[in-house]
Structures are given as C-alpha cells and as structure tokens.
Structure 1
Amino acid sequence: MSDWLRGPRGALALAFGGDAVRYGELADAVAAAPLPGGDGLVACPVGTESARLITLVLACLERGRPVLVGGDAADAARIAPHLPEGTELAVLTSGSTDPTGTPRAVARTNASWLASAAALAEIAELGADDRIAVTGPLHVSMHLYAALHALWMGAAVGDELAGASAVHATPTRLARLLESDSMPAAAIVAGAAMGDSLRARATDRGIRVTEYYGAAELSFVAAGRRGPLTPFPGVEVELRPTAAGRELWARSPYLALGVVGGGMLRRDDDGFATVGDLAEPVGTEGFRIVGRGDAAITTAGTTVLAEDLEARIVALPGVVAAVVLAEPHELLGERIVAVVELDGTTDAAAVVAAARERLPAAELPRRWFVSAVPTTVSGKSARGLLRAALAAGTLGPALPSHPTASDRSNA
C-alpha cells in the first residue's frame, strides 16, 4: 500500500459524512483510481468529497503525477507552467488577510510531509488506536495533512467529534468546541498563536493540548505542550531583528519548494525561509509567536502587534474570539479597533470595562464592535473580510468606549 496507508486492511480508515471506508478498500480504490491522460498536473477541486479527495491525492502521489488540491482544471492549467521542478503536491490556498481571497499555490514534495509524520505522532502522543477528527475541509493544507497523518499512523480519521479521541483545530475553532459536550480528550492546535486563557480553559477540562506553529509554506516549525514552543524535531530556528520585532526564520526538510501566485515566503542563501511571523524568546530554548509583521499597528508612535493583542482580548471573560484592526486617524496615525465575539451571556460593556482595567493604554482599542468573527475555510479568523466591513461601515454601531481624560487628550 501507499507510504501513507499503514493500517491493516480490515481496520477503519475513513469516516466522513457517515460513510465508513476500511484500509483495504481505500488501498484498492487508490490502485484503481482513473487519472487524466498524460503526465500533467491533476486537478482536485474544492467540493470534492473527502474520501474521493484522499483517494485521488494518494493515487497521484503513488503514480508520480503532480496534484493540485483545491483547484479546478482551469487553475491547474494556469499554475502548472510555473510550478517548481520536483513538485508532487500543490495546495491552492487563500490567505486570512486577503479580502478578495486571491489564491496562491504552495508547491512541495511528498517527502517533505512524510518526513514530519513520526515526530508529530510522538509529540502529540497519537497512534494507531486513535480516532482523529478534522474540523475543516480537506482541500485546506492543515486539514489535509491531519487526515494523511492519521492514515500514516494506521488510525481512523473523519469529520465527527463523537467517538474521536483527538481533534485538529485552530484556536478559534477550539474555543467554540470547548463550549460543547463532544470535545475529544486531545487537541492538536495550529493556524494561529494560542493564548494562555484558551490553553487554561482546555487544561481545566482535562484536554491534552499539543500546539504547533507552522505555515503552509514552512510546514512544521515549532511545537509545545504548555506555553512556550521549541523547535520541531529537524528544524533550525533563527529569530532575526527587524523594525517590527524578531522575525522567525526556519531551515528544515519540511519546507515547501515554492509558492506560485505571490505570498509571504522569503528565502536566504543558507536555506532558511520565513513568512514574516514575529516571535519572542522565552527562556533558553523556547519562544512564543506574537503575530505577523505586516499585521502591526502603529498608533501614537507605538507599534502594537494585532495577533498579540487579540490573544489578550480573548483572555477577557466572555470573549470567544477577537480580531484587532487598524483604521486611519488624523492624530494617532492609526486607531485600534476590536471586533469581539461573545459567549452570549456576557455584557459587552463589561468586556470593554475589563479591557480598560487589564490592557496597557497603548494597546487599548478606541472602538469596539460585537459581531460573530467570520473564519476562512481553514478555521482562521477572516481578518480581511472584517477589514473590508470596517471600511464600508457595515460592522454595525460601535460600543461606547468611555474614554478617560487621558484618552481624550491623546486622541
């Protein structure tokens, strides 16, 4: 069977949409899957049923055909001439910061994903006896890897939380799952930095949390269980000073070959790469991700990292999710705006009051909006959509911020 299919033929492999597929059935389907003629890029578009998507991806990898996940035939024709040599797997993705959803294709080898499988299983304490739940569509890189990784372990993977022993989720998705009664005993969390309050909530419920930092372009960079992250096995990390903070660069066998259609990926001559994320050292070997340099807000001469501030706001009682934005301001340069999703029982004014007590003055949002925080298909906060809504004036009425005399003098 495929390098990714390591379970016994009679064991459960897939359970999506109520359909059960065993390893033997999946292996037979992979072997028999029809592929388009020639040796060109095979399209696997959005909306492909989960078992069919996995079958098609594995069939292409087995037969040496490059496959585009998340794109149709027109996308494949557009992207194929620009793919780096050696591309086996390309995942079409749209960034959480882009309101237009402009796609880009991250190109990699099959080996760059296989190389990390054993290390993740060990760090997250997962194995063949687990049943893994994914919380997003499989055309998204994070969820596709989670599904393939489960098959590599010989475990079962599906879309139901009931009966699952572990779930892959973004912090935003995890915060919502913690409100349910179906939360599995373990969570593998990625896609954005995880705040201390969310980690504490999960721990209080007895959830075994493994957090990792990575990107579609970098794959795994760091992982941790209780706060600070340390380099993922096989990864070298450097924190390089920039005007916005320390930019994280990584060198590993897990890096993508390249990106078609733009994106944040940059490389140096020594084999290190970055997508512009910033980190702060913690202790002698650890660090924490504080956000992306291009999400920095400069207000009244102070640089505020949006994702770092969002983590502080989510730590306030009753806040389920938060996005911090900047809007132009004549005197401040940029004014901080917060969009918060509340748990349904918390008074919005109480959240604003708590923020005034706990946040430094330089980080305190000047305008607040209460709204459900939209997410991308990968489960990340759709910052670009909220930025567009703020500019268009469609977020609804702002909450009174009750500025102090000091605030009035600065604004």
Structure 2
Amino acid sequence: MHARQRPDALAIDISGSSLTYGDLHTRIACLHGALVALPKRTRPAPALPLEGRLYAFAAGNHPSASVLLTAAMSTPHAVALLDPQWPEDLHHQMLVKLPPDALFCLASQTGLITAAERLNIPVIRVDTPDLAHFLNAAPEPLPWGDPADIFLVGFTSGTTSRPKAFARARHSWRASLDASRVAFALTDQSHTFAPGPLAHGITLYALAETLDLGAAFHGITRFDLGGAHRAMTNVRRIVSVPTLLDALTRGTPQDQIVEITTAGAKLPPALLDRARSTFPRARVHEYYGASELGFVSLNTHGRTSSSAPPDSVGHPFPHVSLSLRKDGEEVPQGTPGTIFVRGDLAIDGYLWGGRNSGFRREGPWATVGDIGRLNYDGSLSILGREGGMVITSGYNVYPQEIETALADVPGIQDAVVLGHTHPTRGQEVIAIFDGTTPLDEIRARLALSLPRYKLPRQFYRIESWPQTSSGKIARQTLLDWIDKKDDRLVRLSA
C-alpha cells in the first residue's frame, strides 16, 4: 500500500544505504520470485505454505537486511534469524537442526559458508555480487499471507549451549502492531531510529512497526556514537535497550525526539533522569516482555510523572491479562508469584529444546518463569527468575551454561556464575572460580563456545567457597561479598 501511494517516500536507511517504499517493494517482489524458484527442503518444522521457503539470515545489520527481513514480513516465506555473534560450531548446529532452503550471510563468515556448502544449502554472500545476481529474477506479485503462516524463526538462550528455536505466526505480530500503535502513540510521522542489532527482538520489531506505519526506519551497521547522533537528526522516535539509550544520552539535548521506547532491562532512575534531560520533549515508554510472550506490561514516563510507580514495569499491555501463581494456584495481590500471561501475543511453544525451560503453558496462560508481584494499584513489579536466569542487555542467559563452559577450562576446579544488578544492562554476568588459570586464557577458551553477550563481564578468584547448611555453594553469600567488596573474592583484570 505504501509503495503504491507514496513510492518515493523513504522506507529504510541503514548507515546511509537507503531504499524508498517503491524500491523496497520491487526488490522484495524480485526476491520472492527467486525464492519460489528454489527447491524446497523437507523438514519437520516449521510448516510453510506451498510457495513458501525458509531462508536463514546471518549478516547482522548489513544493509541487505532491509530487503531480506522485510520480505519475511510481506511474503509467504519465513526467515531464520541467526545471530552473527554465535560461534561457528553453533551456527553449524543450527543449520543441521533446521536446514534452510538458502543462507544469506557475509563473505567473511567462512566457517558458516563451509558448513552450509557441506549440507548442500545455497549460499548468497550479501556483500558480494551474489545478492544482485540472486535478485535478478523476474518479480512475482506478492500474495496475501494467511494469518496462521509462520514468518519468523527466532532463537532464545537456554540451559544448554544450543539455543531454543521458536516460530512466530503472522497473526501474533499483527495483534502486537495494532496494540503498540495505540500504546506508543505512533503515526506515519513516527520516523524511528533503532541502534541495536536486528537479530535482537526489540530492533527487529521496531523495523516492522515503522514500516507498518509508513514511516522511515533508521539503523546503523555497527554502533558508534557519531553515527547514532547523525541518524537521530532525521527521526522523532528512538527504540533501544537501556545500555544503548545510556550512550545516546551522553550528548547535547535533542529536541526533535518526541517518543522513546525501551525494553530489555529495568530503566534505572538515573538513566530516566538523563533521558528526560537529553530528550526534553520525549515521552519514555518502558515495556516489559519476552520473545516468547510479546508485550506484557507498559509504564509511560512523562516529563515529571509516570503512568505507574517508576520502580514497577507498569500496567498490563492492551489485550493482555496477568495471573500470578504459586504451585498452580493464583496468589493474592501483593504476594510474589510466577507471572502468567493470557493474550494473543505469545508463541505456541518451541520448535525444540523446550523441556525444562522457563517457557511453558497452562491452558490459555503462558509464562517464561519470571517471578513478580502485582501491586495494589494494578502495576507489576519484577522480582527475579525461576532457576536464576539472568537478563543482561535484553539477552536471556542461563548461568549453568557458562558454568559448564568454565568447567572445561584446564586449571579451574569449580565455578559459579551469577547475575549482579547493573545500572544499564539490568544484570551483569559475573564468574567466580577457584583455580590458577590465567584470565586471558579463560576468556579465550570461553569465546570459542559462547556468544559475546554470554561472556562474563567480571571475574573473581576464590580459595574457599561459602556453603549452605546442605553443603551447596551459598550463591547469595557470594553476591553479598561482591557488594561489600569482601577480600575473600579477588577481582581479576586483564
């Protein structure tokens, strides 16, 4: 519709590489024609329509994302969004587990390319003439998509080194778009800058949200403050996790910004104050949600007040009902319990790896295992996670996975990984171990098996572990020692 009515209007700009709505539509039509011509692989899931193909995209914020990600939203095809930060062997595992009909990646991702070629998966290097050649197909008319069709296979961290895959049907994001348009007060003038990685849900959704409005989406290939400030001059809205929002507030006031959307970690009061100072005309919409659940709650901060207590994550999002439960029974208001959500925004389940995970369903209700409290004004406060899952800069990280990787490092006798409160990341991953292995070697070995966002930010060496009465390591005592800078923990620095 936007291509027909306003073909010359800017649709997407990524670090200066831009496409109008007319150009975007034409390229998607050519991509659709090229994908339909590919042989279709047999796989157990996800089920796609006859003309639909599953293609993997691993090129991060390369400008080709403009076409390749938008195509999945507007054609019968689906995209498996691989995180470019994953180690090579994890990429290989994903290709084996979920073989796509084509892989779009960078020429520098040689390990991924080799793995795909061994599996006879066609590879299109998006930063070479490969892509132009692939798009040199006859454009095909874009058919209407069935609301039940899958358009996105996403991945979320789990208790093992293999991420859990989930499938998103079109109707769930259609419902989300209808709800967020009203909740965030969006219009066709809500030109948006999202500085984060497109492999991250908040940025990818911002792309869909902006194009649905007919506004212009601005991104950057890699975060740098100069590029971010240049992009901000052309927009009225920012969508960002608190870590990047914190960086954006380190500059002169930006009067053109009128809306900010943030998620992935609780917004610290000091950062909210800086955001109000740097963006004096902006309302700040702070939402709580999860890749599996979609939106859960919303707190909107004005210049001097908030729609809910600032230390809460707000009231339930439109179309969403909440139930806090313990041992299968709903708990009274004000009592901690596991947060269950009912609405039309959650996934049905994982394609694999869902056993013993945080996400589960009980009839129409779903949860990711967050522990919270429903306050007497109807707002929601988050208290923690079942099983100790850590959320750092919007990523789900399970300590057990990192502890397992540390146990494989020669010279480490035992290790504990904790999430410690951080002003902008929500939580920071901290590793404590006993052993003599040099820190540089530990980091190098962890980098071989873990993506960058799971690598501990701080390391401590310990000689004697505090224990509970049952003989287990006393994790809360360790957190207390960190807060008190107890000398029984020796902080290491490279």
Question: What range is the shorter-chain TM-score in?
Answer: 0.5 to 0.7
Letter in 1 for 2:322: V
* Aligned match for 1:122, one of 170, 174, 182: 182
The unaligned stretches of length 5 or more in structure 2 are 41-50, 84-90, 101-147, 220-230, 301-305, 329-334, 391-417, 435-450, 464-480, 488-494
Out of 32-41 and 14-23, give the one that drifted further: 32-41
For 1:19 and 1:284, the matched residues in 2 are separated by 47
CA contact (8 A) 2:431 2:458 kept: no
Equivalence for 1:37: 39
Q: CA deviation at 1:133?
A: 0.7
1:221 aligns with 2:296: yes
Query: Which runs of structure 2 are paired with 1:123-162 in the superposition (5 Å)?
Result: 123-159=183-219, 160-162=231-233
CA deviation vs aligned residue, 1:263-303 (integer Å, no higher than 9, x gap) = 53533342111111122223332112233233389xxxxxx
What's 2:379 paired with? 286
Relative distance call for 1:192 and 1:210 in structure 2 (3 A) is: same
Question: Alpha-carbon deviations, 1:119-140, whole Å to 9, x = none?
Answer: 2122222211122011222122
Amino acid at match of 1:171: P
Q: Which residue of structure 2 aligns with residue 365 of structure 1?
A: none
Query: Per the alignment, in what secondary structure is the counterpart of residue 202 of structure 1?
Result: helix
Cα offset, 1:217, TM superposition: 0.6
Q: Shift of the alpha carbon at 1:252?
A: 1.1
**Structure 1 counterpart of 2:152:** 90
The CA distance in 2 between the partners of 1:93 and 1:125, in whole Å, is 29
Specify the alignment match of 1:323 in structure 2.
428
TM-score with structure 1 setting the length? 0.68
**1:176 maps to which of 247, 269, 273:** 247
TM-score between both structures, scaled by the size of structure 2: 0.57
Contact 2:80 2:154 in 1 (8 A): yes
Greater CA deviation, 209-218 or 163-172?
163-172
1:79 aligns with 2:98: yes
- The unaligned stretches of length 5 or more in structure 1 are 298-305, 330-377, 405-411
Tell me by how many angstroms 1:50 deviates.
4.7
Show the counterpart of 2:321.
236
User: Structure 1: how far apart are the matches of 2:4 and 2:373?
Assistant: 39
Q: Percent same amino acid at aligned positions?
A: 25
> Partner of 1:89: helix, strand, or coil?
strand
Match of 2:455 in 1: 385
Bigger CA radius of gyration? 2
Matched-pair contact (CA < 8 Å) for 2:253–2:277: no
Shift of 1:103: 2.6
Counterpart CA distance in 1 for 2:248 and 2:162 is 29
Aligned twin of 2:15: 17
How far, CA to CA, are the matches of 2:243 and 2:456 in structure 1? 15
Answer with 21-30 or 70-79: which moved more.
70-79
CA 117–92 in structure 1, closer or farther in 2 if over 3 Å, else same: closer
Kept after mapping to 2: 8 A contact 1:41/1:76 = no
Partner of 1:339: none
Q: Is 1:258 the counterpart of 2:349 in the alignment?
A: yes
Tell whether 2:259 aligns with 1:186.
yes
CA-to-aligned-CA distance 1:7-50 (integer Å, 9 cap, x gap): 72221110112022111111111111121333565223221555
CA contact (8 A) 1:11 1:23 kept: yes
Kept after mapping to 2: 8 A contact 1:277/1:291: yes
* 1:67 maps onto 2:73 in alignment: no
Q: What SS is found at the alignment partner of 2:180?
A: helix
